[in-house]
């Protein structure tokens, strides 16, 4: 099965160390503006780094920056599992 044919999953469905490309964000525009400012945009690579001791929030790595997100937000950020070449990397 090819990675490109898999359905996107919520960030909360990833296992620690797993990542992928952000496929879409199903949040209101005001929330998306905040996420955009911290680098969470469609196409960005994101990896699940670790979970807080009590389970929430979780820490994700986005283009080398660590970001903590609560599950109530991460449930609405969908990723395509795996790592994909960026347009500039395709030669």
> What per-residue confidence (pLDDT) applies to 1?
42
Where is 74: in which H helix or E strand? helix 71-74
Q: Largest alpha-carbon pair distance within the chain?
A: 44
13-67 confidence digits (pLDDT tens): 999 999 999 999 999 998 899 999 999 999 999 999 999 988 899 999 998 899 9
Determine the average pLDDT of the residues in 6-19: 94
Q: Where are the domains of the chain?
A: 8-83
Q: What residues have CB less than 8 Å from 54, skipping those under 6 apart?
A: none
Given strand 65-69, what is the order of strands in its sheet? Answer: 9-10, 77-81, 19-25, 45-51, 58-62, 65-69
User: Scanning the structure block, which residue is given the tokens 């389970």?
Assistant: 55
Instruction: Output the six-digit token pair for 20.
Output: 């992928």
pLDDT of amino acid 64: 85
Domain 8-83: give its CATH architecture: Roll (2.30)
| pLDDT at residue 55, rounded to an integer | 86
């Amino acid at each position: 099965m090819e990675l490109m044919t898999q359905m996107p999953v919520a960030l909360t469905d990833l296992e620690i160390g797993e990542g992928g490309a952000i496929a879409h964000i199903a949040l209101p525009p005001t929330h998306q503006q905040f996420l955009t400012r911290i680098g969470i945009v469609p196409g960005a690579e994101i990896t699940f780094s670790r979970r807080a001791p009590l389970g929430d929030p979780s820490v994700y790595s986005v283009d080398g920056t660590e970001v903590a997100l609560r599950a109530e937000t991460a449930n609405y950020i969908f990723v395509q599992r795996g790592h994909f070449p960026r347009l500039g990397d395709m030669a």
